[in-house]
Amino acid sequence: MLRRITLYGLLLFAWLFAVSTASALSPESAKAIAVGDNDDRIKALSAALVTPDDNLSNLVEALLADTAKVAGDQVLIVTDGKAVIAATGAEAPLPAVVEDVVNNNRMRQALEGAKAAFGLFSDSVRVRNNAITELRESADESKLPLIDRALAKETDASLKAKLEQLRAAMLIASSDKQKRLDAIVALTASAQPSVKSLLQERMKAGVETDPEVRAALTTAIKTVEDRLAWGERLGVVFTGLSLGSILFLVALGLAITYGLMGVINMAHGELLMIGAYATYLVQNVFRKFMPGAFDYYIIAAIPLSFLAAALVGAILERTVIRWLYGRPLETLLATWGISLMLIQLVRTFFGAQNVPVENPSWLSGGVQVLPNLTLPFNRIAIIFFAFFVLAGVSLLISKTRLGLFVRGVTQNRSMAACMGVNTAKIDTYAFALGAGIAGLAGCALSQVGNVGPDLGQGYIVDSFMVVVLGGVGQLAGTVYAGLGLGVLNKFLEGWTGAVLAKIIVLVFIVVFIQRRPQGIFALKGRSAEA
């Protein structure tokens, strides 16, 4: 709250008592802004802001982007190997030795504040909006003249409202009672989380003495709290859905291989890993050969991660798992061996460290739905992705000929074989399908977490829990179990902390299975008890 007081105090000072010490950004002041003690640099920046010009604006931008360099007494802005003298904007030869400018958080904050001050009077609504958001974080009276000036110029209605709120935050400590009351009303309309603490600060003993204002404050705090509580509740639901969609995705492939063939695939986690590494490779190819289309690498990665994992799955089925049908518990051992080998294989080729998978820019960041609730784009995308995968798989199973065969083999293998279904082939296809879906899940996981050799190990227990809880051979069961566990986990986490929440969920599963040994959706009829 107080962190920018110094800067804005100086700004205010500058605007109020502008003295013509410098007509524009001088080389000396450019240097003073770029090097030296942070206190001195911030002072120099404030002094330069007295007479803002384009050169200063460019310098601030360059400092923030790490493109400002120091060579001797000169501050240069270096972009693509070309140097520009910061103080004049003139081009200059690039010296052999340039020093980087080191900005720590405090310096960067001062620079961002300066940028915001520029932005407040920009022509672009977006820039002005950002500037206001930036200014919102620190509300103190020293900025009042700045806000007033901006208010006078502002034409956009919504921005005007935001500025009014900013102004109110500053006026809450005004000596005029009416102004304080007005400020409270204006602040109640805002739902910034910081408003609550601002109002609470006023409620502390001895700060606000007028009973009428105190009453207004109490109601205001209540209103704001209610609104914030909504954000929190929605937040829990969203995080639960997000975790649930991930659990569902990682378990879906397993539900198919296990439900269909009774194969306990301990290497399922490694199929996730293969999908994630396929995504990593696609990303690298895009970065190297198509840097322009980098943001869309994920579109290509989705089918390729499916294919990579499906291929590995088909090979596994043909070479190992095929020989173990009817011995479900033994597939556990063989696939455990496969899993060890796949992990070590990846370690040999890619190293034991994690590999970087970057979110495309359209999956970075988030959308702010409520002042205290930001939904990250990558998580939203995964929820939709899970939905599409579910839709795709259900269509495949219910509408296609392959799906018909798969259902037939699941329900009664020998009967299907008698009807002329090549069950061996169906097995391979189905296993490859399950593996491919695991690959898709791996592709999704690469957007939220680690991509490393151990990626799969972290999900294997969870995915088995989902499948068992949902009931074997039931897509719907997997959906409900995944989402249910996700939401349950997140509700508990807010209450008991992450560690206990996880333990409680596991104990819940154990107890639940005691009550319903076949999961949420038990297979009915003859096949249930054989």
Partner 1 sequence: MNTTTLPSSPIASIAPPVPSLLTLRGKVVVAAVLAILVVIIPVLNVMVPATSAFHMSDYAVSLLGKIMCYAICALAMDLIWGYTGILSLGHGLFFALGGYAMGMYLMRQIGRDGVYHSDLPDFMVFLDWKTAPWTWAGSESFIFQMILVVAVPGLLAFIFGYFAFRSRIKGVYFSIITQALTFAAMLLFFRNETGFGGNNGFTDFKRILGIPTATSSMRVTLCVLTGLVLLGFYLMSKAIIASKYGRVLQAIRDAEGRVLFTGYNTLWYKLSIWTLSAMMCGVAGALYVPQVGIINPGEMSPAASIEIAIWTAVGGRATLIGPIIGAFFVTGAKSWFTVAFPEYWLYFLGALFIAVTLFLPQGIVGLVRKLAAKGGVK
Partner 2 sequence: MPQITRRGALKTLTVALVSASLSSLVAAQSKDPIKVGVLHSLSGTMAISETVLKDVALMAIDEINAKGGVMGRKLEPVVVDPASNWPLFAEKARQLISNDKVAVTFGCWTSVSRKSVLPVFEELNSLLFYPVQYEGEELSKNVFYTGAAPNQQAIPAVEYLMSKDGGSAKRWVLLGTDYVYPRTTNKILRSFLKSKGVAEADIMEEYTPFGHSDYQTIIANIKKFSSEGKKTAVISTINGDSNVPFYKELGNQGLKATDVPVVAFSVGEEELRGVDTKPLVGHLAAWNYFMSLKNPANTEFTKKWADYAKKKGIAGHKDKPLTNDPMEATYIGIYMWKQAVEKAKSTDTDKVIAAMAGQTFKAPGGFTSTMDTKNHHLHKPVFIGEIKADGQFNVVWKTPGPVRANPWSPFIPGNDVKKDVPDGKTKI
Applying CB under 8 A, does 314 fall inside the site for partner 1? no
Q: Output 49 or 465, the one with its CB closest to partner 1.
A: 465
Applying CB under 8 A, does 502 fall inside the site for partner 2? yes
For residue 36, the 8-state DSSP code is S
Applying CB under 8 A, does 364 fall inside the site for partner 2? yes
Are 85 and 51 spatial neighbours (Cβ–Cβ below 8 Å)?
Answer: no
Applying CB under 8 A, does 376 fall inside the site for partner 2? yes
The SS3 assignment for 174 reads: coil
Applying CB under 8 A, does 235 fall inside the site for partner 2? yes
Applying CB under 8 A, does 225 fall inside the site for partner 2? no
Q: Which of these segments, 29-37, 214-222, 433-441, 460-468, binds partner 1 (CB under 8 A)? A: 460-468
Q: Output 71 or 252, the one with its CB closest to partner 1.
A: 252
Are 409 and 427 spatial neighbours (Cβ–Cβ below 8 Å)?
Answer: yes
Q: How far is the CB of 502 from partner 1 (least distance, A)?
A: 6
Q: How far is the CB of 268 from partner 1 (least distance, A)?
A: 13
Give the integer Cα–Cα distance in Å for 104 and 37. 11
Q: Which of these segments, 85-93, 235-243, 388-396, 413-421, binds partner 1 (CB under 8 A)? A: 413-421
Residue with tokens 């499906």: 310
Q: How far is the CB of 468 from partner 1 (least distance, A)?
A: 5
The SS3 assignment for 451 reads: coil
Applying CB under 8 A, does 264 fall inside the site for partner 1? yes
Neighbours of 41 (CB within 10 A): 22
| Strands annotated E in 250-344 | none
Task: Show the site string, 10-49: x = touches partner 2 by CB under 8 A, - = not.
Answer: ----------------------------xx----------
Reading the block at residue 348, the tokens are 């040999």
Applying CB under 8 A, does 347 fall inside the site for partner 2? yes
The entry of partner 2, partner 1, none near residue 232 (CB within 5 to 8 angstroms by kind) is: partner 2
Applying CB under 8 A, does 419 fall inside the site for partner 1? no
Applying CB under 8 A, does 351 fall inside the site for partner 1? no
Neighbours of 355 (CB within 10 A): 19
Q: Which long-range contacts (CB under 8 A, 24 or more apart) does 76-80 make?
A: none
Applying CB under 8 A, does 420 fall inside the site for partner 1? no
Q: Which of these segments, 102-110, 206-214, 393-401, 465-473, binds partner 2 (CB under 8 A)? A: 102-110
Residue from 67, 378, 428, 463 touching partner 2 (CB under 8 A): that is 378
Task: Return phi, psi of residue 221, to 5°.
Answer: -60, -40
- Using left for φ > 0, alpha for ψ between -120 and 50, and beta otherwise, residue 117 falls in alpha
Residues 491-510 that bind partner 1 (CB under 8 A): 499, 502-503, 506-507, 509-510
As a three-state string, the secondary structure of 324-350 is HCCCHHHHHHHHHHHHHHHHHHHHHHH
Task: Return phi, psi of residue 195, to 5°.
Answer: -60, -40
Residue from 356, 362, 369, 415 touching partner 2 (CB under 8 A): that is 356
Q: How far is the CB of 333 from partner 1 (least distance, A)?
A: 5
As a three-state string, the secondary structure of 375-387 is EEHHHHHHHHHHH
Residue from 302, 355, 468, 481 touching partner 2 (CB under 8 A): that is 355
As a three-state string, the secondary structure of 415-435 is HHHHCCCCHHHHHHHHHHHHH
Give the integer Cα–Cα distance in Å for 103 and 100. 9
Give the integer Cα–Cα distance in Å for 149 and 146. 5
How far, CA to CA in Å, does 72 sit from each of 60, 98, 239, 411, 480?
A: 19, 8, 52, 80, 66
Residue with tokens 């639960």: 240
Q: Which residues bind partner 1 (CB under 8 A)?
A: 258, 261-262, 264, 266, 320, 323-334, 336-341, 343-345, 348, 411-415, 460-461, 464-465, 468, 472, 499, 502-503, 506-507, 509-510, 513-515, 517-518, 523, 526-530
- What residues line the site for partner 2 (CB under 8 A)? 1-3, 38-39, 66, 102-106, 108-109, 112, 137, 192-194, 196-197, 232, 235-236, 238-239, 242-243, 246, 343-344, 347-359, 364-366, 368, 372, 374, 376-379, 448-454, 457-458, 490, 493-494, 497-499, 502
